[in-house]
Amino acid sequence: MNWPLRLLLWVLPALLLQSCGSHLQQKTDSNLIGYTETGKASFYAMKFQFRKTASGERFNQFAMTAAHKKLPFGTMLLVTNLENGKSIKVKVNDRGPFIKGRIIDLTRAAFAKIGDTRKGIIPVKIETAK
């Protein structure tokens, strides 16, 4: 087999896979526009510091990140405390929370920006953000 044909047989599938992947990502991102959810937020215990998250990142209590059950990793969310109106922008990098009735787990730092950590749980609205 001559080299131009071999090259074509290697390059063509790679280009097809790349175009399919970017299309799927765009479709997923457009499906998230306008996504909102209300429920309860909590924050991670200190024992999780530096452990790997479901996305593979190391957990950092001082980062503005969160766990959500189904939203894609990297999704930016605006989390608003429904009691005081304060908001924080966080990035989804983990899965959870795994306690019934809770929709999001925040880092301690993110939670502290919008609520009192002594409460432990606050009512929130989450919505996709850029």
The ranges assigned to domains in the chain are 1-32, 35-128
Residue range 68-122, pLDDT digits in tens: 999 999 999 999 999 999 999 999 999 999 999 999 999 999 999 999 999 999 9
The confidence score (pLDDT) of residue 16 equals 39
The confidence score (pLDDT) of residue 43 equals 95
Residue range 16-72, pLDDT digits in tens: 334 443 333 333 466 688 999 999 999 998 888 889 999 999 999 999 999 999 999
pTM metric for this prediction: 0.75
Answer for the pair 93, 52: CB distance below 8 angstroms, yes or no: no
CATH architecture of the domain formed by 35-128: Beta Barrel (2.40)
Token look-up 């998230």 returns 32
